[in-house]
Amino acid sequence: MGKFRELIAYKKGFALLMDIFNLTKDFPKSEQYSLVDQIRRSSRSVCSSIGEAYKKRRYPNHFVSKLSDADMENGETQVWLDVALACNYITEEKFNYLDAQCEEISKLLNFMISHPSKFA
């Protein structure tokens, strides 16, 4: 099997983290060490957990555990998007776009969790 960078979940997760990175450049300076750091960290953790999971794919329980971590971080990213919307740092249109990306990533991760043998 190929590399983790070829996984659709990784590619979509990486695109999301870059969208969030670029978007948060314009957030208020007062949010630099709170919201900006948190949403960047959680969105990056999705991809890092996918990479770690893929390296452990020969061990289904470890693989599933790391993918579960990725889905958890993806959920945290959605919470921070909720905060960004509530604080009017992003438009509802941008929120809907990013939230839909998160939902798609979650579906991909849950497919991988449900079918670990397809990735071994």
Residue-level pLDDT at 120: 85
For the segment 41-68, what is each residue's pLDDT rounded down to a tens digit? Answer: 999 999 999 999 999 999 999 999 999 9
Helices (H), 56-120: 60-86, 92-114
Could you give the CA distance from residue 106 to residue 17 in angstroms, rounded to a whole number? 14
CATH topology of domain 4-115: de novo design (two linked rop proteins) (1.20.1440)
Residue-level pLDDT at 54: 97
Residue-level pLDDT at 2: 79
Could you give the CA distance from residue 93 to residue 117 in angstroms, rounded to a whole number? 38
Nearest to 98 by CA among 113, 83, 111: 83
Q: In the chain, what are the domain boundaries?
A: 4-115
Share of the chain above pLDDT 70, in %: 99
